[in-house]
Amino acid sequence: MTETSYLSSVRASYDAVAVDYARLLSAELATRPLDRAMLAAFAEYVRADDGGRAVADLGCGPGRVTAHLDGLGVRAFGVDLSPAMVAVARRTYPGLRFEVGSMAALDVADGVLGGVLAWYSTVHTPPSELPAVFAEFARVLAPGGHLLIAFKAGDDRIRLDHAYGHPVDLDVYRTPPRLIAELLAGAGLTEVARLVREADADEKSPQGFLLARKG
C-alpha cells in the first residue's frame, strides 16, 4: 500500500466494517480503567483552560468516545474519514455533531479548539505522514489547548486483510512513544504526560497514550 493510496483504503475498509465495528466495541471503555483515566484527565485540562471551546474527536468512528467526552462535560464533536462510520454515529448519538472529513485537512479555522482527541486514529497513517497530521492538529488548537493521542506502542507494521468480520485493506503501525513525543514537539505541542500499559487479553501490543499542550 503506497502512502498516496492509504486514505482511500482506510475509508473503504471502515465503510465496510462500520456497523459490526460499532457493535463489537460498544462497551470497550467499560473494561479499561486506565484508558478512561487518560480521557478524564484530558477533559479536566480542557475544562480548566476554557470550558467553552469545542473539542474535536478526530477519527471518531461510530462516536462512542465522542459521547464519552460529552459525558465528561466537554463540548465534543466528531470527524471521520468514513461516511458509513459517521452515519452510524449520527444514528446512535443524534444529539451530537459528526462530520465526514480528513484529520490531515480539517475544515476548522486556525486556533479555535480547546482540545483535539486522536483515539487510535493515526494507527493507519504511515510514519512519514505523521508530521503533517500533527501540524494540522496544532493548527486548529487554541494556545493552551490540549491534545490526547492514543496509539499502539511498538516499532513495526502489521498487515490486516480481515477485521470485524469483513475483508479489509489496512496497515497498522505500532509507534514508539518517544517518536510520538518528538513529532508532537516538532509541531509545537509540548508533552504533559504519557502512559504505556500492557496489552489486555484481546490486544496484541502495549497501548500508548500521550497528553500534550500547545504553547
C-alpha cell at 191: 508533552
pLDDT for position 32:
96
Cα–Cα distance for residue pair 51/62, rounded to 1 Å: 24
C-alpha to C-alpha distances, 164 to 155, 196, 214, nearest whole angstrom? 24, 25, 36
User: What digits encode the pLDDT tens for the residues 53-81?
Assistant: 999 999 999 999 999 999 999 999 999 99
**In this predicted model, what pLDDT tens digit does every residue of 151-204 receive, in sequence order?**
999 999 999 999 999 999 999 999 999 999 999 999 999 999 999 999 998 899
Residue 1 predicted with pLDDT over 70? no
